[in-house]
Structure formats: C-alpha cells, structure tokens
Structure 1
C-alpha cells in the first residue's frame, strides 16, 4: 500500500487496489479529498463507477447560485432535495455530472461580524422570513437517479464506521512511532484483535 506524507491534502490518483488484480467493486466512494482530475481520470480509464463529495470552492458555489432558483428540485430522501447538473472545475479536463443536495436547517443560526469596529452577534430564528440550507455537491459517473445517488453517498457513512472503530476505539490512532516497521506490527495486532468481532458481525448479517 503506498504511503503519503502527513500533510497531503488529497489523493494523488485512484487507489491501488482498483485494478485487474483484485475483485472490482461496483462503486468507489469517498469524501472531499478524491475529486481531483488525476484520480477521476484514472477511475474513468478503468470504467470504474465513482461517487465523491466536492469541496465548496468558489466555482462550486457559483454553480449552486445558478441552480438555486432555476430548474426543479426533487426529493433526495432523508429531508434532502437534489438537482442534476454538469460542471467542469478548474483542473478538470472535461465536464462531469454533479448532483447538488440541499436541506433546510431547522435550528437557530448564529451570525457573527463587525460593525463600526465592534463585534456583532445575531441570531436567525425559525420565525424569521429566511430559509437556511445546508448544501453538499457530489460528482459521480453513475447513471442512477438523484434519490439513489444521494442514498449511496449517505450509506458511505455506515461503511466508514468500521474504520472509525479501528482508528479511535481499537487503537490505530492510539500510538505514535516514527518507525514504519513498528507501525505495521501494531496495525496488524489491532486487526487480529478485531478479526473475531468482524467474523461474528458477518455471520449475523448472513
């Protein structure tokens, strides 16, 4: 498995296991660090389906603004609405399908700023004539409808829970060493300790 430096902000390309040497997954999902052109082109060259979340950069925000009052928002499940679009970001060599998701914020929102050199704090409450939305923008090669795409991305969180358990509850994030060999030994010991639990969970699922 290739190693990256600790200050790496995003993946440099598609994951090494996505290739002819192993069983191909139906879908590669990921968070904001994987929407770069090198990684997407690598997956497209392998005809590999993908679904990634995009960072809300200036160009992505302009796309949201263009779509906000135009087009038709459809149900995306779990309180979200969605809209299809096409977008070519800086650094991409082509347009790609993007799905904009939004959902209304229900709780009070606090806004901060400065007026005449003084810090100002204001609250927007539910009774105010202002609609507040949370946004997410996904890039995908899938042909599925918006509801299916949105649910597939939400399912990514469930799939990631096992890695969270390994990192935070089972010790993969609980040791520090500059020796690669010692890191490998500790990581393998943690994986072996978790193996019986994973087998039991698989049997219950089956």
Structure 2
C-alpha cells in the first residue's frame, strides 16, 4: 500500500493505493545515440546487451518503497531516476522513481538484478493527461552524494525518452495499464558513469505549469558475509 499526493489542475488530494504489478521499461530512449550510450556504460561494468529495445521487465510490486532509506547488500548498487506511470482507479498519473539496481548482479542477469533491490518512488503524482501535450519540455535530474560530495548524477529533458503512449503500445499485454499497475519509463545516462552513492535525490521539473516533484532516499549498505 502506497500513499500519493495526487495533484491536478483542479486541486489535490492524498490517496492510498494498493499496487500489485510492476513493470520496468529498459532501454526506453527515443534516439539511437542515447540508447547506445546507456548500453555502452553498462557494458563497461560487464552487463550484456538487451534482447530487444525497448524491453519490459516484470518485478514484484512489493519492491516499491517510499521509505527514506533503502537497505542494500554490499557496495555495488546505484540509483537511476525514471518517470513512473501509475494507474489508479481514475486513470493514469505521472510520478518519479529510482530503478535502484545491484550492478554486480546485473552482470549475471538483468532481470535478476531488477528483482534484488527496492524501487523507491515519490509521493507526488500529476495527472498524465495534463502533461502529455508538453512531455518533451519536462526535465528530469538526479543528484547523488558520492564520497561526501553532492554531484549532478543525471539530467536531461524527457524528449530523450519514449512517450508513455509509445511504451504502453509496445508493452506485452497491450496499451491499457490496469489500476494497481506501475511502469517505470526509462532513464538518462549517468554523468561521469554509473557508480554507488550514499544518498540519491531526484526531481521532475515542469516548466510549462511551473511545478516540481522531488523524492530522495539514503542508501544503507549491509556487509557481504561469505
């Protein structure tokens, strides 16, 4: 059960929703150069290329979390800021999340790695139909605290990613996303390369409607015991 602050042009309300299905769209870049960049940065840490582009990974919805801290095993995981489409009883909403992934496990199997880490999501949602006409103007960014220093980790417009309508049309099962489903919609290349952090901060900026949604979490690392 997640809690969302649902904001529309007509007002806002706080709602609870039981999420029971989660899909993560991988290699969802709109241009081939961006896709190649992300494949290459993952290849640099030993991750094999995808079987298709885009590709849709099913993940347990229980992995979704709104906690302030994410507990991971070992030093080999990192976050990825992504737009998140959330389906509620009254339609589709846009949120923000992090496809936090164990990079060491990713070299063994991407689907496996997607399942091993919690997937942080923010509390704020915007009605999707209120931003679809200016989707390309939305700007997504992430900051990370690495070695005690807060740095810009990812930044760019959503014009770099496929639109929700495009991804939903390609999703196995058809374009309709039933209530209780969430879909992560792709990420941007990491500035300076993929690397772990002790804190991950993300935001989605809508310059057309003059609003910003934000979410952040700390990473708590458990020791690896043989």
Query: TM-score scaled to structure 1, two decimals?
Result: 0.25
Relative contact order, CA 8 A, sep 6+: which one is greater?
A: 2
| Rg larger in structure | 1
Query: TM-score scaled to structure 2, two decimals?
Result: 0.23
